[in-house]
Chain A
Amino acid sequence: MHFSPRSALAIYQREMARAFRTAFQSILSPVLTTSLYFVVFGSVIGARMEPVGGVPYGAFIIPGLLMLTLLGETTSNASFGIYMPRFTGTIYELLSAPVGVAETLAGFVGAAATKGLILAAIILGTARLFVDYEIAHPLLAAVYIMLVAASFALFGFILGIWADSFEKLGIIPMLILTPLTFLGGTFYSVRDLPAPWDAIALANPIAFLVSGLRYSFYGVADVPIAVSLWLTLGFLGVCTIIIAVIFRTGWRLRE
């Protein structure tokens, strides 16, 4: 299979430049949101809470909050990245270039994963100002964050191709991702839920993502880390296949 690294790099650099151009929105807003969560849940309410699984409550919620912001930002960022060119017509250049699905994804998704890592670093830095914590498996955490960022960048990419209005673009993150993340154990351990809700909560795939990240932080998890990893990889694979099919058929890209 042919791959042009220069084309992929051009897309990657452009996406990164776009992020820095809107740095105010893409960096400050997660900092502010995270700070608010920590002030309310970490410091004020957290001080009155029991530790969860041996982890102080303020620290316990860090992976969940990180996941909440990461999923939302990565999805909307990637979906805008491809929706806007479709909307304004600038996608003509990508379609007329000697560039295939591999370069496109490497550029867009690579940039989204990088942005995810930067975002995670910012959130963790902000969290540090409010609570003390230590990361048990930093390498695993970094790999896992990148994996999740890449998966949801792909997901956002599909969303941005599927959407034919700004309303549709916003509806999935708002109506599906955010509720599922909240219900996926951002602020609690799903194992503390009374039966049958603990079982029902595990029907929510995002519970596995939160649990996986929490394991990499504190070594405690609701489900085995291997399950979380495989689920994430599976999601990544499914999204990649969907995008490959979209490019092959030209659905919503080529008339």
Chain B
Amino acid sequence: MSEPILSIRGLTKTYANGPRALDNVDLDIRAGEIFALLGPNGAGKTTLIGAVCGLVRPTGGTITAFGHDLARDWRAARARIGLVPQELATDMFETVWRAVSYSQGLFGKPRNPARIEEILRSLSLWDKKDAQIRALSGGMKRRVLIAKALAHEPELLFLDEPTAGVDVELRKDMWEQIAALKQRGVTIILTTHYIEEAEEMADRVGIIQRGRIRMVDEKRAMMERLGTTEAVIELAAPLAAVPEALAGFGAVLSEGGTRLTYRGGNGQGRGRAEVAQLAQALTRAGIGFTSLDIHDSSLEDIFVGLLGQEQEAA
């Protein structure tokens, strides 16, 4: 594997009024990937981003981006990092064009109207370039923030809750935008508490809770490892016990012997295959059933399950 584009070691942040927002976080981000940082509200997602982008002063640990130690070579590193914050924070009286043009200059880039035009067109903001930002809708305002973050052509882009408060249609649109950025070679770290979003977009997923990274893995590997298939079979007549012929499937009876439930598999199709075999075995054994309901666990189920374990342990 090539050098990570961003490397975080032992990152800790304790706020003055007590809470430990980040607790000894280690994280490596690979060039060109989309990394989704998942976690409930207050888990430390925004603090983590803030620490890398210079909004938060870490209490301990090191952050290295593009081989630059952020504590010393912050200028060199920050010039290549972009941030789209969670809050819609912009000067509302500025025009879109001026706002983006300012960002370009602030990050030390020469004036490049062609580049700004390209960014605005790609975000469908070109028509609005002379509009004051306050006149735009929420979704458009967020695009302006993205345009501002792209004005200095960052290689690493942080998106803090990019689709928070955005309607379904715009959300899909945003996902397309993010996918297009990845195509252009931008490494993307996004935080979200819409698990669906991570499932849709991410190459890798990190789960953070109470300032600690609980798990980091390829999305697919995580689903394979933790994913399950659940099948609920309603039987035509109640059974007293699971027949011998079905013993190998680990299915259990409930609802007075009228419901047979299977749980197993790996989130990658093995469960579904086993359910098909189970159905055939039922037929062979002459056991009738009235319905068969299959459900693959999503990243959401995995996430909720993981957080639930933690809650019980705490």
Residues in A lying within 8 Å of B, measured CB to CB = 2, 4, 6-7, 9-11, 13-14, 17-18, 21, 88-90, 92-100, 250, 254-255
- The reply to whether A254 and B55 contact each other, CB–CB distance below 8 Å, is yes
The docked-state distance in angstroms from the alpha carbon of A32 to that of B105 is 36
Q: Is the CB of A11 within 8 A of B106?
A: yes
A51-B102 Cα distance, complex, nearest whole Å: 51
The count of chain B contact residues (Cβ–Cβ below 8 Å) is: 32
B83 at interface by CB-CB < 8 Å: yes
Is B194 interfacial (CB-CB < 8 Å)? no
Measured CA separation A17–B91 after assembly (Å): 12
Contact with A along B133-177 (1 / 0, CB 8 A): 000000000000000100000000000000000000000000000
Residues of the A chain whose Cβ atoms lie less than 8 Å from the Cβ of B78: 96-98
B108 is contacted by which of A6, A88, A92 (Cβ under 8 Å)?
Answer: A6
User: What residues of B have a CB within 8 angstroms of the CB of A95 in the complex?
Assistant: 53-55
Which residue in A4, A6, A10, A254 is a CB contact (below 8 Å) of B56? A254
A interface, by DSSP: helix, strand, loop or mixed? helix
Partner among B15, B98, B148 whose Cβ is within 8 Å of the Cβ of A255: B15
A-B contact count (CB 8 A): 76
Docked-complex contact A254 and B54, CB < 8 angstroms? yes
Interface pair B93/A21, CB less than 8 Å apart: yes
B81 touches A250 (CB 8 A): no
Interface digits, B257-300 against A, CB 8 Å rule (1 contact, 0 not)? 00000000000000000000000000000000000000000000
B24 contacts partner chain A, Cβ-Cβ < 8 Å: no
CB <8 Å contact, A14 and B102: yes
> A97 and B106: CB pair below 8 A?
yes
When the two chains form their complex, are residues A90 and B89 in contact, meaning their CB atoms are under 8 A apart? yes
Chain B contacts of A4 at CB under 8 A?
Answer: 75, 108
A13, B105: Cβ atoms under 8 Å?
yes
Given A97-B106, A98-B107, A99-B106, A90-B54 contact (CB < 8 Å): no
Note all chain B residues with C-beta closer than 8 A to A2: 75
**What's the minimum C-beta distance from A190 to chain B, rounded to whole angstroms?**
43
Q: Is B248 an interface residue (CB 8 A)?
A: no
B121 contacts chain A at the CB level, 8 A cutoff: no
Residues of chain B lying within 8 A (CB to CB) of residue A90 = 89-91
List A contacts of B98 (CB < 8 A).
14, 17
16 A–B contacts, CB within 8 A, in A order: A4-B108, A6-B110, A7-B108, A10-B104, A89-B87, A92-B53, A92-B83, A93-B103, A95-B53, A96-B53, A96-B54, A96-B55, A254-B56, A255-B15, A255-B55, A255-B57
Cβ-closest chain B residue relative to A88:
B89
The 8 lowest CB-CB distance pairs between A and B, nearest first, are A10-B105, A89-B89, A96-B53, A98-B75, A98-B78, A98-B79, A4-B108, A10-B106
- Mask: chain B, 64-86; 1 = CB below 8 Å from A; 0 = not: 00000000001110110101010
Shortest CB-to-CB span from A86 to chain B, Å, is 10
- For residue A89, which residues in chain B have a CB less than 8 angstroms away from its CB? 85, 87, 89
Say if the beta carbon of B32 comes within 8 Å of chain A: no
Contact between B57 and A96, CB atoms less than 8 A apart: no
Closest chain A residue to B92 by CB distance?
A88
Residues of B near A96 (CB, < 8 A) are: 53-55, 78, 81, 83
For residue B50, CB closer than 8 A to chain A, the reply is: yes
Given contacts A92-B83, A95-B54, A98-B74, 16 further A-B contacts (CB under 8 A): A4-B75, A6-B110, A10-B105, A13-B102, A17-B94, A17-B98, A88-B91, A92-B55, A92-B89, A95-B53, A96-B53, A96-B78, A96-B81, A97-B108, A99-B108, A100-B75
B109 at the A/B interface (Cβ < 8 Å)? Answer: yes
Which residues does chain B contribute within 8 Å of A99, judged by CB atoms? 106, 108
Asked whether, in the complex, the Cβ of B81 is within 8 Å of the Cβ of A6, the reply is: no
Contacts of A14 in B (CB 8 A): 98, 102
CB distance from B125 to the nearest CB of A (A): 17
A90 to B107, CA, bound (A): 15
Minimal beta-carbon separation of B86 from chain A (angstroms)? 9
Nearest A residue to B88 via CB reads A89
